[in-house]
Structure formats: C-alpha cells, structure tokens
Amino acid sequence: MSDDPTVSPRRSARDGRAAGNHDAASASSASAPRDSAVPGSARIADPERGGATTTGGVLDGSGRTVLVTGASGMLGGDVARVLLARGWRVRVFQRGHAPVAEREGVDEVLGSVTDPEDVARALDGVDDVVHLAAKVSFTGAWEEFVRVNVTGTRVLLCQAQNAGVKNVVFVSSPSVAHTGVSIEGAGAEPADPGKARGNYARSKAAAELLALSMDGQRDLKVAAVRPHIVWGPGDTQLVERVADRAAAGRMPNLDHGAAMIDTTYIDNASEGIVRALERIDVVHGRALVLTNGEPRPVGELIARMCRATGSEAPTRSIPGGLARLAGKVIETVWPHLPAKLRTGDGEPPMTEFLAEQLSTAHWFDQRETRELLDWTPSVSLDEGFSRLAAYYQDHPRPNRRTGSVSLDRVEDVADEQRARAEESSVASGEESGNATTDLQSVRTVV
C-alpha cells in the first residue's frame, strides 16, 4: 500500500489535520512524515516494504548476497528476516547458532568478527553487509570494548573491501553523540569518542567514525544507522526485564518518570536498517538516528510495557541526582567485587550512565532520516503495544522473582539485544594484532 503522494491541503483541512497544511512550504515537504506521525493512524504497511512510499532509486536485493553479523540477537535476526523477504540471499555470521538461520534462503557462518580469517570466510561472495555484532555492556575493560567494537569493525570493513563488497550498513547507537545532557528534538550529531559516556558508547563512536571514514574508498559505500531503544515481543532484554522487575517490585521509576524518550519498535528498526541499505546511494557517508518518532515519558513507556506483559507498573521513585551518585559509586566499585556478590546478570544495579539515560530526555528530530530514507515507520507505538500484549497473552510471563539486584536497561537496548550475538561472535581470549593499533588510535581520538 502506498501513500497518495498528492494529498491536497484542502482535504487535509477537512480532515482536521494540523494547521499550516495550506502553506506551500509545509505541503511540499509533508508528503512522508505527516500521516505517519499521527499515532493510531499508522498504515499497517506491507511488512516486507515498511512504510516506503516509492520504490524508485533503491537497491534491489534480488540476485545479491548480504551478510548480517550478530544475527542471533532480536534485531539482527529480524534484519535478516526482512532482507530475506526483500529478495536478498542472506548469510548470517556470529559465534553461535542463530535461529533465523533455520529459514530457507539463509546460510550461516560461525566465527568471530575480530578474526580476519573467519571474516574472510563469511564474506566470500557477499555484495552487501549489515554489521550489528558488538560488545554491549555497561561495565567491562576498555580494551575489551575496543577489541570487539573498534577492531572488529576495522577487520570486517577491511576484509569487505578485499572481498569486493559494495555496501555496508553499520548499526550504531545514538549514545555515540550523547555527552550527558538531555537531547530534545536533535538530529544525528557527529559521533564523539572523546565525550560519549561509558566504554560502550565511546568504542562505538570510534567504530562509527572508522566505518564512515571508509565510505568512498575503493567503491565501498558505508552508512551508519543509530536505532534508539528497540523493543518488541519476545524481547528478553528490555520488555521482559521490565516485566520481571515490576512483578518483583524492583523497578524504580526515576524521579517522576517524566523524562521523555524515543523508542523504536522492532519492525521499524529492522525495516529502517534495511531501508538504509536500499537507499545507500543517498545515505552513504552519513549517520542516521532511527526511532518511531513518538517520544513518550519513560514512566508511561514502562507502565505500558508492564500492562502489555501483565505486570504491575512501578511506583517507587528514586531521585535522579541520587541515583546518579549511587551509580557512580557502584560503577567504580563493581568490577572489584567478588563474583559471588555480583548476583543476577552480572551487571551493576544502576550505573551512572544508565541513571542519566533514564532521567534525561532523549528524543530526536526524524525529519532528515525519513526524508533521506524516503520511508516512515510502519508500526505506531499503539500498534506495537497491542502486538506486545497479544504476544504475551499467548506467551504469559511466569510470575517469578528474579533474585537479581540489577536494574533493567532502557537505553541502548538496540545494542543489548545484540548482546547475545556478540557473545557468540566474539572470539574468546585470543588477542588480535589489530586491537593494539585500534587502542592507540582511539586513545588519540579521545
């Protein structure tokens, strides 16, 4: 289904749409985002097409092979699914088996992104790459982040060049440009490894700069897409943790839960990433932030997730400033604690980074993204929540206590969801010679 490209201002006025439709400037630029920005009325578009309004000037997947790294995570798996539906031959690459590989038309190579030989094997005969594999964590040694995120990206891109790959979409995170203040209606600012918060964001920032710097070298086109907080049915990283913590009465609502944040429903995230590959001629060399474009107070999001999964909404409130201080202390002490004291999933209960994320605004101006991709999200938040509720009616959450003291991550779940992929794709122990170089290069950037 495609949108009527000739929406007349007059008709819009009768529809009671927003004012200003009559203005020439807004009418000309309004073709894509207007209707989709209206919640509840989002077109349930052809799931294989997303909300794309035109098909002209896009890369056609038929006859092409795409490599998806980190496909064992929710997002990676879904990206593979969408690519497959759009006609690509899909190969997935990570350390352990990815469920999506069981589909027809998907083949799988197991290995580590930091191992040039593994990577070369995966890239054999590949035309396009979507790179999602990364180390995602709020703690851990800086060297380890550099090794996986920066060196891994370097290895992948260098080998891609050697293998004659044409197009690469690097999946990044808005945190690469986040310096700790609130973000309200901003676009995609340049990645800043020096100012980004935490090891994960800093290493991803360096990796994004590295990836984009290779755009245009030897016919390679590279684009970066930064989906912000991806969630959806079966999402163990955000949705189910929120549900479990809420059920256990452990989910504090920071301040009054009023910080407004953007999120991305899983289908929109994977369609947007695939769309970036399709529109690579337009978007290469750029970084695009990707969201649903429907910011909500964090408290409302958590409450709706709880409701959709059948749990109680949180009522506890920890002031943001206090949480930040506590986070700082914990972040410093945590790595030195004996393992037996670090219960749960191994993450500290609340890092400063996370507290900041939950207590400051993070919402973005999606105009540029939508214009460049010529695409709008196909699943509204409302639709997303009803899909979530439908899913959890069929898959009820056991009402259990987790015994964990950790707090769920809301920020960068897009990356978290790839954690599993990363765990399987990161070669354990073995040091790559490239890593040392990347450490140094990142240090000089920092």
Partner 1 sequence: MSPQHPGAERLPFTETALPGVDPAWSRTLTVAATAPVEPVAGRRRRWHVLDNADAIAASGRTPQGIVLAVHGNPTWSYLWRDVLRAAQEAERPWRVVAVDQLDMGFSERTGLFRRLEDRVQDLGDLTHALGIDDADVPVVTLAHDWGGLISQGWAQEHPEIHAATVLTNTAVHHDNAEPIPSALRLALNRAVHEPLTSGSTAFLDTTLALCDPTASKAVKRAYKAPYTSRERREGIAHFVADIPAAADHPSHAAYERIAGRMSAREVPTLLLWGTGDPVFQQRYLDDLMRRAPHADVHRFEGAKHLLPEARDIATPLLTWLDERFGGVGSVLAAHREQRSRGRADFVPFFAELDARRTDDSPAVVDMGPVATTVDGSAPSLNVERSVSWAQLSGSVDRLAVALLRTGVRPGDRVNLMVPPGSMLTTLIYACLRIGAVIVVADQGLGRKGLTRALRGSSPRWFIGIRKALVGARALGWPGTRISADAMDPVSKKLLGVTHTVAELMDSVTTVDQAEIPAVDADAEAAVLFTSGSTGPAKGVVYTHRQMAGMRDTIRDTYGLRAGTGLVAGFAPFALLGPALGAASVTPDMDVTSPKTLTARALAQATMAIRATAVFASPAAIANVLATADELSPAERDALARVDLMLSAGAPIPEELLTRLQELMPAAQLHTPYGMTEALPLTDVSLDVIRAAREDTQRGVEGAGRGVCVGTPVEGAQLGVLPLRADGSVSSEIVTTPGVTGEIVARAPHAKDHYDRLWITERASDLTPGWHRTGDVGHFDARERLWYEGRLAHVITMSHGPVSSVAAEHAAQTVPGVGRVAVVGVGPTGSQSAVAVIETVPAASGPALADAELSERVRATVDMATGLPVSAVLVIPEQPTDIRHNSKIDRAELSDWAERALATGKLSAL
Q: Which is nearer to partner 1, 29 or 162 (CB)?
A: 29
Rounded CA separation 163/402 (Å): 46
User: In whole angstroms, how close is the CB of 315 to partner 1 at the nearest point?
Assistant: 11
Least distance (Å) from partner 1 to the CB of residue 275? 18
Closer Cβ to partner 1, 38 or 390, answer by number: 38
Q: Do the Cβ atoms of 158 and 121 come closer than 8 Å?
A: no
Nearest CA among 355, 201, 380 for reference residue 296: 380
Give the Cα separation of 64 and 209 in Å (integer): 27
Q: What is the DSSP letter of 146?
A: I
Q: Is the distance from CB of 324 to CB of 352 less than 8 angstroms?
A: yes
Q: Sheet harboring 296-297: ordered strands across? A: 183-186, 362-364, 260-261, 296-297
Nearer to partner 1, 18 or 333 (CB): 18
The residue among 64 and 304 lying less far from partner 1, judged by its C-beta, is: 304
Q: Does 265 qualify as catalytic in the annotation?
A: no
Q: Are strands 296-297 and 230-231 parallel, antiparallel or unpaired?
A: unpaired
Angle, helix 198-213 to helix 433-445, in steps of 10 degrees:
100
Q: Would you say 99 or 321 has its CB closer to partner 1?
A: 321
Nearest approach in angstroms of CB 293 to partner 1 is 8
Q: Is 108 left (phi over 0), alpha (psi -120 to 50) or beta?
A: beta
Asked whether the beta carbons of 2 and 34 are under 8 A apart, the reply is no
**Residue number, 69 or 253, with CB nearest to partner 1:** 253
Q: Under a CB-based contact definition with an 8 Å cutoff, are residues 83 and 126 in contact? A: no
Name which of 137 and 369 has its Cβ closer to partner 1: 369
Residue 402: Cβ within 10 Å count: 15
Positions that interact with partner 1 (CB under 8 A): 10, 13-23, 25-26, 29-30, 33-34, 37-41, 182, 184-187, 254-260, 293-300, 303-304, 307, 313, 319-320, 358-361, 363, 365-367, 382
Q: Least distance to partner 1 from the beta carbon of 319, Å?
A: 8
Tell me how far, at minimum, the Cβ of 298 lies from partner 1, in Å. 7
370, 31 contact by CB (below 8 A): no
Alpha carbon of 300 to those of 17, 232, 268, 386: distances in Å?
A: 25, 16, 20, 15
Min separation Cβ 273 and partner 1, Å: 21
For 267, counting Cβ atoms within 10 Å of its Cβ (0-12 exposed, 13-18 middle, 19+ buried), the class is buried
Identified catalytic residue from 200, 265, 391, 392:
200
Rounded to the nearest whole angstrom, what is the least distance from the CB of residue 49 to partner 1 in the complex? 22
CA 200, 285, 93 angle in degrees (round to 5)? Answer: 55
Our measurement of the distance from residue 49's CA atom to the centroid of its chain's CA atoms, rounded to an integer in Å, reads: 19
Q: Which residues are catalytic?
A: 200
